[in-house]
Structure 1
């Protein structure tokens, strides 16, 4: 406080010091017995050039006094007469007085300057003193009330009064807090101020009020706000989704620029098609996809999100918008005039509209849509700065929307391509009932290269395939198409699973050699062949996750397929795993995207990582209830992946419920390689067909058996096998140890042979051959009449 260090002494008429204060004794260091009763002049040092009185000294003079230790101290002294001839000498160290003077000078300077607003507030927050700029700003209200106290803070909750009370309660100053000082009239914009506040102390050291400094930073704040808006508008397009970009745009504009904002996009743009170069009015081809109200729900009387804009005739203003001009209408009538004063325009304008501003979303010379901003409660006009800001924002937003449109188009093309290449989601054969599910990734990844397939093979067998091509996008989809076609072609050759993967691996290596990015070309494949006659499933894997099967009794197990390397590595053989699957077993094959989703959803630093295959098997066991349709089982298994907010990889799932041919629909025999076996084979085949009631198939089957067994006797060296299988078709198989390739050819008139297979092909619907380690099997299929199928024993 300013009187800290003040001293006093009493001097009688003869100049003798009769009393002094303890502060005086401490300042000079003398004991009372050494000073009291002695001449006061003895304490004064010899004269030296008189110094200038300290600033703020109210009269008096500066004396240099001796201390007990020989040092000297300058003290400002003023003499006050007492009764009689005695005087009271009041003193203050010159240093303390100079500091007090500086404080007084600072306060006087701050309160009289005319550059920024400075004020002192009392404990009741009323103005005690202020600079001239405060009075000119209109802040001095009735009874000293200051509008500053009602100023809402920009960077936090509360008002200016809350901030000043906080300063007085804590004694801690606040520097540079931003607040909004409301305009005195509704047609004027608010002002942004930077507020600095510090506590004031009285002479006792208690807080008696606050000191405030207010600087107008509206221009700087608006500049930063505009820069932030432009940045946010640029980031709104990062999602590569048109609706998300539009929603981000209205969130950017409201409430910063206006009270309401809406975005309309052309139907062509939403579909990913090429938007128009010119817009000749509104003809039911623009849809509102985003809207925001700063003070509640979007008004019910306005066009709603998802609704088509009303038809509006063409106006010259549309050409101005297409050229990049921002429409500013600070009067409701101006906006109605732009729309042509048509009745349907009422649904496009808020009832309490005060001012509006709008711009076309134009990118690469094409009109994508429009953005509109309205002011209702804030009743002040849009300025040229606002128009410039909206133009910058709309330009950047239009580029984001156009990028999203182009991405949407490419994604739809890729999805259409991929879905057109996938088989039907469900199928039914003699071997199995199948159901497949494919989920494309979400976000920027685009479509992937996953696929599934169920391929009908000879002798009622079915091949099941799930593959996953490395990468995403059109390149992955086209690679998938080539591989799926290759698998179907190779499967039709009746190759063993390991042999098929070897051939497929060779193809991928050739494709990589032709690619500009060979290191990114590869795939994983799981290939299985199920035989309903033997109930045997043969599987081979090229770096693919293992399948999981559920038996009819509910037991579930992960099939231990010995995996080979992914396709494209080369030089490593693949192995076949054989597993027996009883009838009504459910075999599931999937891509790693299904497990990746499970891993992310279960990610928890407090829990140890789970085994995804084991967890999937448990979920499959719970979902695979008896009699439940495969499609519903599949939906339960992919539910977590379908609901996942993040899905960076596509998800593929193939389910197959196995079937089995009854034992009484299978007949097989073994014959020695003897010509007499031909007649015997015909006899047993005819007898079996008669027993099955397949009388219409007797003649064709007798011809097939006779020709195929005759060829086997002629070229084979071991026993000959004959098998008949009755299902939706009649299958006839002849097996021998020969590896010769049967060929179908047309015999000439003078040829003695060569007509056998030609005749077989004429009386059957399909025929072919396959090979295994013991030789080859020639098979045929014949249609069975519906009445014969229904008439089975």
Structure 2
């Protein structure tokens, strides 16, 4: 038994260990001396098999490890020799002398040996070929990266570009992603194979620094037939062309397209379908032109898995586009196709659909030449939001036709919205309103302009406060109270009134117009200050200044320029509540119509006035007011102090009365009752041919 040294080892133990390692280890081993020259090695590494010993013994790192980063290894070995710190599993890539056509990955570990065969310290380097293991890890990393980065948005083009970013340079020197144009537009897919003539959009192209290519994205094209691209589209099967040369199945001398690819340096390619169970959406092509190693079946399987992930993202994006297109079409159908041409209010509007939400606007003709102006925004997006918008718009028009004040209109609309929310919750099984408080369904601003008094009445249900600009371009302060959004069933709304000069502009909008920019409110006010422009020019200026291609919400803008009625367009008389005044009312009407040159409608108008005044005296409370308004229509209004609404009934043949309102209805285009804080107004409206007209402000 030999003497033990201070650390417990016996003499010659290092030598024995080294001998066992070099004769029994499956790893490639090298023993370097103090000058980092090879003193001993085994021939396990594939790159050293068949090489004579004199080509290895006494050689340096650089001479032995041709094709690898030996400079870095020499530095690490020197550190290990000097400090004794081992290096474990350091990865190095290169092309060994015996296998120059294949990139090899080796795992290198370095250990200091204090007593080599000659008693001097040295370094043992253990080498393991981990090419296959690292390739498998790289494939898993690529799949993980694809799942993490591909399909992050509901935009097919973005998904295609994400796919290209993941594959270049990890698996390809260049990548092209073609998607069927119909898929990008969100059209319903047809089952079965893709015809070769179907147009595709080059949604993405990406080349590494060494690839020679001049392709562009977003190009619409049809792929040449018959090629690997069209064959993959037809049967949904990936294809591998390991060699793009005379020995391949698609030789360049027989195909102009293959010849062009070969001229660009492509020597190996794969075509992979972008497919879902319902069909093929496009084709992914991967090119090798910089790396000399051709594609393998493992590469094809990996590309197919990555393409499958991208296809799901593209399919989701196409479905979203289809739903958005449907919702947008529904929303456009539910919005007014044109605004009415009025003499008292010029209007122009802007609609920017982004997510097919429930933004809407309306211009409503009311009695007495008044005009209702509406802008609203339904919570949510898609078809349901568009349908809710249509129901709310219809309900608001109906309420407006009842001549209610803006706050009353919003109160009733709030109740309707709450009922819609409850019905929707019942349909989905989520109706659990314990405290009776509903959820917000929409916001809305409703304004009524009366040109006879030049007064604007305004109420808001959780909506951005409208802007008012004077004819000189100065802002008009209007502290409109903003109530709760529609749908809470607890909305308490207030009507704010503002007197306006002719030429003042009212700006109603949804919050999507100002989203995403801190200076948007200032920009909007700055553009509105230019009152020398027409409304259509102002709308264009606002669109140019505020429209955002990256916006995430729809936007609606409604501009209204007011024009009051002149004194010669309105005639007003106060009459005592006496039956004898009916003839006086007829005479006043006849005289006023003659002054307006409307003798052609004098007979019908006198009958209407006679019946309305008679009803006011007989069933209402005095005094009685008669007003005639000449605008696009001739309006007759009779006001009394009673709040009881008249009701039309069908008189029997033997009845002496009961035909008055039926006569009014027969002689009028429209008629109705408008209630005020005290009393009511019964009105009748007759169309005038050749009456005052307004410039066409439709957009």
TM-score of the two chains, using structure 1 as the length reference:
0.73
Structure 1's 145 and 494: CA in aligned 2 closer, same or farther, altered over 3 A?
Answer: same
SS of the equivalent of 2:319 reads helix
2:219 is paired with a residue whose SS is coil
Q: In the alignment, is the contact (CA less than 8 A) between 1:321 and 1:327 conserved in 2?
A: no
Deviations 1:179-206, CA, capped at 9 Å, x for gaps? 431466998332233456799999xxxx
Larger radius of gyration: 1
Instruction: Give the deviation of 1:283 after TM superposition.
Output: 0.8
Q: Which residue of 2 aligns with 1:549?
A: 468
Q: Following the alignment from structure 2 to structure 1, what is the Cα–Cα distance between the partners of residues 441 and 29? A: 71
User: Could you tell me how far 1:399 is from its partner in structure 2?
Assistant: 1.9
Q: 1:664 to 1:486 in 2, by over 3 A?
A: same
Determine helix, strand or coil for the equivalent of 1:239.
Answer: coil
- Call closer, same or farther: CA 1:127–1:548 in 2, change over 3 Å: farther
Q: Identify which of 227, 240, 244 aligns with 2:158.
A: 244
Report the equivalent of 1:388: 301
* Aligned position for 1:512: 421
Q: Give the CA RMSD over aligned residues.
A: 4.2
* Equivalent residue number for residue 455 of structure 1: 364
**Which of 395, 399, 407 matches 1:486?**
395
C-alpha displacement of 1:666: 2.1
SS at match of 1:556: coil
Q: How far apart in 2 are the matches of 1:755 and 1:646?
A: 59
**Does structure 2 conserve the Cα–Cα contact (< 8 Å) formed by 1:550 and 1:556?**
yes
Q: Hey, what does 1:299 align to over in structure 2? A: 213
Give the deviation of 1:502 after TM superposition. 2.4
CA distance in 1, matches of 2:175, 2:463: 51
Number of matched pairs: 667
Shift of 1:127: 5.6
**Any conservation in 1 of the 2:156–2:317 contact (CA below 8 Å)?**
yes
Query: Which secondary structure does the structure 1 equivalent of 2:609 belong to?
Result: helix
Any idea what the Cα deviations from partners look like across 1:81-135, whole Å, max 9, x if unmatched? Answer: xxxxxxxxxxxxx538969977777788888866136575999xx8666744598
Indicate conservation of the 8 Å contact 1:282/1:314, yes or no. Answer: no
Unaligned runs of 5+ in 2: 116-120, 432-437, 695-699
The 1:316/1:160 distance shift into structure 2, 3 A limit, reads closer
- Structure 1 residues 642-657: aligned runs within 5 Å: 642-643=547-548, 645=550, 647=552, 649-657=553-561
Q: Name the CA shift for 1:261/1:670 in 2 (closer, same or farther; >3 Å).
A: same
1:654-695 superposed Cα distances (whole Å, 9 cap, x missing partner):
332222222332221111112232232233333333333334
The residue correspondences of 1:274-423 to structure 2 (distance < 5 A) are 274-279=188-193, 281-295=195-209, 299-300=213-214, 305-313=218-226, 318=231, 322=235, 324-332=237-245, 337=250, 343=256, 351-423=264-336
- In 2, Cα distance between the equivalents of 1:372 and 1:137? 34
The secondary structure found in structure 2 opposite 1:481 is helix
Matching residue of 1:777: 681
User: Contact 1:164–1:210 (CA<8 Å) still a contact in 2?
Assistant: no
Q: Is the contact between residue 331 and residue 386 of structure 2 (CA under 8 Å) also seen in structure 1?
A: yes
Cα distance between partner residues in 2 of 1:339 and 1:527: 70
Q: CA deviation at 1:393?
A: 1.7
In 1: Cα distance, 2:64 partner to 2:195 partner: 49
1:711 is aligned to 615
Q: Quickly say closer, same or farther: Cα 1:114–1:769, change in 2 above 3 A.
A: same
Residues 216-241 of structure 1: CA deviation (Å, up to 9, x unaligned)? 33222221221222233334123122
Aligned pair partner of 2:28 in 87, 93, 116: 116
In structure 2, relative to structure 1, the CA distance for the partners of 1:162 and 1:186 (3 Å cut) is closer
The equivalent residue for 1:524 is 443
Q: Is the 8 A contact 1:771 1:777 kept in 2?
A: yes
**Pairing 1:151-230 to 2, within 5 Å after superposition:** 151=68, 161=71, 176-182=89-95, 188-194=101-107, 214-230=127-143
Aligned with residue 62 of structure 2, among 112, 131, 145: 145
- Name the CA shift for 1:241/1:100 in 2 (closer, same or farther; >3 Å): farther
Residue 683 to residue 304, structure 1, CA distance change in 2 (3 Å): same
Equivalent position to 2:459, from 540, 544, 548: 540
TM superposition shift of 1:363: 0.8
TM-score by length of 2: 0.82
CA contact (8 A) 1:303 1:348 kept: no
The range that moved more, 520-529 or 257-266, is 520-529
TM-superposed CA distance for 1:293, in Å, is 1.2
Write the distance in 1 (CA, Å) between the matches of 2:346 and 2:249.
64
- 2:531 is the alignment partner of 1:626: yes
Q: State yes or no: 1:95 paired with 2:95.
A: no
Match of 2:118 in 1: none
Q: Deviations over 1:629-657 (max 9, x none)?
A: 4455456656676437463x443333322
Cα distance, 1:387–1:456 mapped onto 2, change above 3 Å: same
Structure 1, unaligned runs of 5 or more: 1-50, 55-93, 152-158, 203-207, 603-614
Deviations along 1:721-777, whole A, 9 cap, x unmatched? 122223333322221223343445665665544444444344443332211222221
In the other structure, the counterpart of 2:697 is none
Among candidates 629, 639, 656, match of residue 725 of structure 1 = 629
Deviation, 1:264, is 1.6
Q: Distance in 1 between matches of 2:395 and 2:260?
A: 58
In 2 relative to 1, CA 435–399 (structure 1 residues): closer, same or farther, beyond 3 Å? Answer: same
The structure whose RCO (Cα within 8 Å, separation 6+) is larger is 2
What secondary structure is seen at the aligned counterpart in 2 of 1:310?
coil
